[in-house]
Amino acid sequence: MDTAEAINTRRAIKKFDSTYKMTKQQVDSLMELAIRSPTSYNQQNWRFITVTDQSVKEQISKAARDQAQPSDGSLVIILCGNMNAWQQDPFRYWKNSTLEKQEHVKKAMHTKYAESPQNQRDEAIRSCGFAGQTIMLSARHMGLDSCPMVGFEYDDLAKIINLPDDHLIVMMIVVGKASEPAGPRGGQLPLDQVVFENKF
């Protein structure tokens, strides 16, 4: 499947085939693609909780206001941002580069994040946004379907996954096989309402 086809056929699936189970190899392949997503300074500040355990998926469905997707889908991925990634052994993000480059990036990240919880949070959300789309398109490439979700009780989900204090849940994505296609698209806005040439 080429990229355009993956984009055009990705839909937010409401009904998943609960009998379909991804193999561990499929989950690993999907996550190997997910970690190719770009992050600022290559800080790789996403953290992914992959859930295949049925009892945990059911708890997640409950936290998601009884939406069925987490329970029926094969895999639930909770995308979290680590807001302290910028200062946690930062040389590892540029391990293939020179010491000079590593020191430069460490200093630049300190300047950007040390005094700014907002920048830390924004970066977590940006990075998980990219990873989310990578996951959904990669799932299509693998012949699978997905549903991005934020309709959940944050504190309940945080408790289920033991979310550390300095991490943020950005979204979850359910992956599996659709048992019903998505309904008709809501309707995209025309380009001239969302694209502006050179400036607003």
Ligand X SMILES: Cc1cc2nc3c(=O)[nH]c(=O)nc-3n(C[C@H](O)[C@H](O)[C@H](O)COP(=O)(O)O)c2cc1C
Give the binding site for ligand X (CB under 6 A). Answer: 11-12, 14, 67, 147-151, 171, 182, 185-186
Calculate ∠ Cα 134-35-105, nearest 5°.
120
Closest-approach residue to ligand X (CB): 151
- Cβ pair 34, 134 in contact under 8 A: yes
Sign of CA dihedral 40, 43, 44, 46: negative
Nearer to ligand X, 11 or 112 (CB): 11
In the bound state with ligand X, the residue whose beta carbon lies nearer, of 104 and 129, is 129
Shortest separation between residue 196's beta carbon and ligand X, angstroms: 22
The least CB distance from residue 130 to ligand X, in Å, is 13
CA–CA distance from 42 to each of 37, 39, 68, 135 (Å)?
Answer: 9, 5, 35, 18
Return the bridge partners of 10, or none. none
Shortest Cβ 85–ligand X spacing (Å):
22
The nearest distance, CB 98 to ligand X, in angstroms, is 39
10 or 104: whose CB is closer to ligand X? 10
Joined tokens for residue 157: 């989900």
CB 20 within 8 A of CB 183: no
Smaller CB distance to ligand X: residue 143 or 183?
A: 183
